[in-house]
Amino acid sequence: MSTHPEIKFGTDGWRGIIGDEFTYKNVRTVASAISHYIAESNDLNNTIIVGFDTRFSSDLFATAVAEIISSHNINVKIFSRPAPTPVCSYSVIQNNSQLGVMITASHNSHEWNGIKIKSEKGSSINPEIVTRVENIIEEVITKKRTLRGKSNSQIHIFDPIPSYLEGIKKVVDIDQIKSSKLNIIVDNMHGSGAGLLSSLLSDGNIRITEIRSKANPKFPGMEKPEPIETNLKPLSQMVIKKGAHLGLAFDGDADRLGIIDENGKFVTTLEAFSALVNHFLGYRNETSGVACTITMSSMVDKLGENYNIPVYRTPVGFKYVGPKMMEKSCFIGGEESGGYAFKQHIPERDGILSALFFLEALIIQKKKPSSLIAELQKQMGPHVFERADLSFPPNLRKTFELKIDQLSVDSIGGSEVVLADRQDGIKLTLKDGSWLAIRMSGTEPLIRVYVESSDKTKIKKIFNDVFIKLKK
């Protein structure tokens, strides 16, 4: 049996603690497995894109990946500078590449890094490819497959940003946004999205102030570069101080979006996504469907009913949402974490484009962020959402997985359970319209509990019941 640390791809790639699981040896092992997978497809003339973010040594890990892949006689194009994950996806499509390899741990805390693999369509690779790569990893570890060594002969360095920005301009009216006279604060959370929104909108009437824009792999002042309410206090304070119309925040690899309204209040991701769906249906006249995870707001289902369009629910993770978007030709895809994708672009989350479409919604509908959400709540009825993350020792993962699998209740929070969905953990829909979901994180040792209801009192009752049942 191998004593080599286990390398497994979760909801969104493989992640590990730098210097512990995430080492040069393991990164080279994964790169070798990717190379062998490519060789099996008999498409060695293809080019592989390798990108990286602003995390500690991401550029050096990316170089190690490129060298291994190149040593397998495969052409590699590697970023010349840090860039968001959606830039990697876009570059794969633009270069007709078979795969993209992105060095990032997304929103994880600073001690983590990781690898995301993108398909030829720019989406996350499907579970079948993940399984095949993981099997080859084991073969490389046990020396049934060769690792290969350093090679620079087929590595080409390129700047992916200009092409990406031009692609963005093709799907959203940048001139309309630039002429809006909006005052925006942008929080880059020290990640790879810094400067991109300003670059797109700089020569117009719009005013942009960036904070936390300098790359810093320690992500100071926050537990992790995740655009959730607790991490966006500096953004909220700056919005109020500057009298800005809103604040926009991007996570470490800029594939997710966080929003602060003009009053300094956090706009939940469920509200933001529902507002985008409403905008596309009501003002862009979209008629196709919506793909989203089971943890997205029930407002989306109500919007689907109102506009007579289908809503397709998937397990959590864009490796499920992206393929569903493509299969059903959906105009939008989204997940509760704040990642949204659009059919005109790539079947993968893009924080920059999501921000631009939210700005477009404000401009076209001539509303402030608070008014946009208030109008949505008026149409759909009151919806309040909260998520709690419960940590556990990694060695108890199987115990909690079993507990969630075996969870069976007739009522919770004082309301009868009318529907149970077990495609990812468990989601319970209640008679009063509330719902809750409990699932294991695919990227961290966390149990995620999601609740949406009509008011905070009901949410508190549901959380209390859930915590009691999980502790039994």
Q: Are 53 and 134 in contact (CB under 8 A)?
A: no
Report residue 244's pLDDT band, with 50, 70 and 90 as the boundaries.
very high
Q: Strands, E, within 8-46: which ranges? A: 14-17
**Considering the chain, what percentage of its residues have pLDDT values greater than 90?**
85
Span 108-135, pLDDT tens digits: 999 999 999 999 999 999 889 999 999 9
Burial of 74 (0-12, 13-18, 19+ CB in 10 A): buried
Q: Please state the rounded mean pLDDT for residues 52-57.
A: 98
> What does the pLDDT read at residue 11?
72
Q: Please state the rounded mean pLDDT for residues 329-342.
A: 97
Q: Would you say domain 384-471 falls under CATH 3.30.310.50?
A: yes
**Considering the chain, what percentage of its residues have pLDDT values greater than 70?**
98
Q: Please state the rounded mean pLDDT for residues 165-173.
A: 97
Rounded Cα distance, 67 and 65, in Å: 6
| DSSP letter (8 states) at residue 116 | E
| Equal CATH topology for 14-161 and 384-471 | no
Statement: residue 62 has pLDDT above 90 = yes
> What does the pLDDT read at residue 5?
64
In sequence order, the 6+-apart residues with CB closer than 8 A to the CB of 423 are 294, 313, 314, 315
Q: Whole-angstrom distance between the N-terminal and C-terminal Cα of the chain?
A: 35
In words, the CATH class of domain 171-380 is: alpha beta
Taking alpha carbons only, the member of 173, 218, 217, 165 closest to residue 196 is: 165
Span 176-215, pLDDT tens digits: 999 999 999 999 999 999 999 999 998 889 999 999 999 9
Q: Are 369 and 360 in contact (CB under 8 A)?
A: no
Statement: residue 157 has pLDDT above 60 = yes
Statement: residue 1 has pLDDT above 60 = no
Q: Are 383 and 300 in contact (CB under 8 A)?
A: no
SS3 call for 348: coil
Q: Please state the rounded mean pLDDT for residues 88-101.
A: 97
Q: Please state the rounded mean pLDDT for residues 323-338.
A: 96
Q: Please state the rounded mean pLDDT for residues 37-58.
A: 88
Q: Are 394 and 457 in contact (CB under 8 A)?
A: no
Span 360-374, pLDDT tens digits: 999 999 999 999 999
> What does the pLDDT read at residue 45?
64
Span 399-413, pLDDT tens digits: 999 989 988 889 998
> What does the pLDDT read at residue 143?
87
Report residue 43's pLDDT band, with 50, 70 and 90 as the boundaries.
low
> What does the pLDDT read at residue 154?
87
Q: Please state the rounded mean pLDDT for residues 266-295.
A: 97
Q: Domain 14-161 carries which CATH code?
A: 3.40.120.10
Domain map (residue ranges) of the chain: 14-161, 171-380, 384-471
Span 208-243, pLDDT tens digits: 999 999 999 999 999 999 999 999 999 999 999 999
In sequence order, the 6+-apart residues with CB closer than 8 A to the CB of 206 are 177, 178, 179, 180, 181, 182, 183, 184
Statement: residue 2 has pLDDT above 50 = no
SS3 call for 125: coil
Q: Are 251 and 227 in contact (CB under 8 A)?
A: yes
pTM over 0.95: no
> What does the pLDDT read at residue 44?
60
